[in-house]
Amino acid sequence: MPRPLVLFWAAPHRTALLDERLSEFCDTALLSDCNLDDRRRAAALIASSTGVNKAIGAETFAQLPNLSVVASRGAGANCFDLDAATAYGLPVLNNPGVAPDAVVEYVLATLPLVYRHLVEESRALEKGSELRQLRPQLAGKTVAVLGMGAIGRLVAARVQAAYDVAVTTWRPRRRPDVPAGVRVVGSLEELLAGCDALVVTLPLTDETTAMIGEHELSLLKPSAVVVNVSRGGIVDETALAARIAAGRLGGAAVDVFATEPVPADNPLLGLPNVFATPHCAGIATEARARLDSATADGVLCALAGVRPKRIANGVWPPRRRPAGFAYPVPAPA
């Protein structure tokens, strides 16, 4: 019986651990290295949001006629076109809540960094001057967390204890069990107008795309800061940069961008109190190991006909799967 072939969309999506876990049961290859016969026998496709600015969809699926499942290595699934995958009968696997700690650490590290203008102080020092300006501290302020998934709830719980702040949120659609002490407000406008720092942890969907635009940013206090660890496209980067440059917002920490890799002319880059990073908040050794293991288990379970724990588009069973493939399903965590 031939082994199933698992493809990686691009080299950055292929890690040693993931390859090792999959290779025990499957053949693996990069999509770009495959000939027509390989594409015809491919059973699974793995990708991540890194370097994927247009969702992988029907055009690719049509070239892989025996595909059973597609999987995102990350928490989100926006590297795939969910509607196209559903139309093809493909479960889309992802890993929400598997490894939130690394992203939460990023939020806790950057909140005081930008709120107290320490980025600006550091850059001024590098240029030979010392600002040493009197700034308010974070303690006693209000942090708004927009998005109450695994990351948002952990941010809300930890930031209260770490910095003695009040935490608010709005419309926790899927997770009404917000952490103790978090106040739920009645509207997005109320959330924005009442906070000193906005932390965005939402998934990118049709509903959340461009959710924080010029109007929404105008509701924030001029001293407020934004921390975005969700996905590019949720916060209007041009509007955010313009308000910071004009002194109408305090600053921002941004780990996600509408276009990745980030172009050198992105308006947020180089602003005095903007801490910008290349979608690396979740890239920690331990977090990546958990995500890779979860991705491998999900793909292997799906190929064996066992429903994986996390399916972004709800499709199950897949339209087809490799005949005779078996996998010793791990015990529930």
pLDDT per residue as tens digits for the range 141-189: 999 999 999 999 999 999 999 999 999 999 766 556 789 999 999 999 9
| pLDDT recorded at residue 326 | 87
> What fold, for 5-98+285-303?
Rossmann fold (3.40.50)
| pLDDT recorded at residue 205 | 86
| pLDDT recorded at residue 75 | 86
Alpha-carbon torsion (229, 172, 83, 19), positive or negative? positive
| pLDDT recorded at residue 324 | 86
> Residue with structure tokens 């379970």?
301
Residue 124 to residue 253: CA distance in whole angstroms: 18
| pLDDT recorded at residue 204 | 86
In tens, the pLDDT along 280-291 reads 998 889 999 999
> Residue with structure tokens 């942890």?
201
Do residues 167 and 156 make contact, with C-beta atoms less than 8 angstroms apart?
A: yes
Q: Where are the domains of the chain?
A: 5-98+285-303, 101-276
Residue 217 to residue 197: CA distance in whole angstroms: 12
> pTM value?
0.86
| pLDDT recorded at residue 174 | 57
CATH fold match for the domains 5-98+285-303 and 101-276: yes
Residue 260 to residue 232: CA distance in whole angstroms: 9
CATH superfamily to which 101-276 belongs:
NAD(P)-binding Rossmann-like Domain (3.40.50.720)
Which residues form the catalytic set? 231, 260, 279
Token duo for residue 59: 């055009």
What residues of the chain score a pLDDT lower than 50? none
| pLDDT recorded at residue 256 | 95
Of 238, 234, 268, the closest CA to residue 253 belongs to 268
| pLDDT recorded at residue 331 | 60
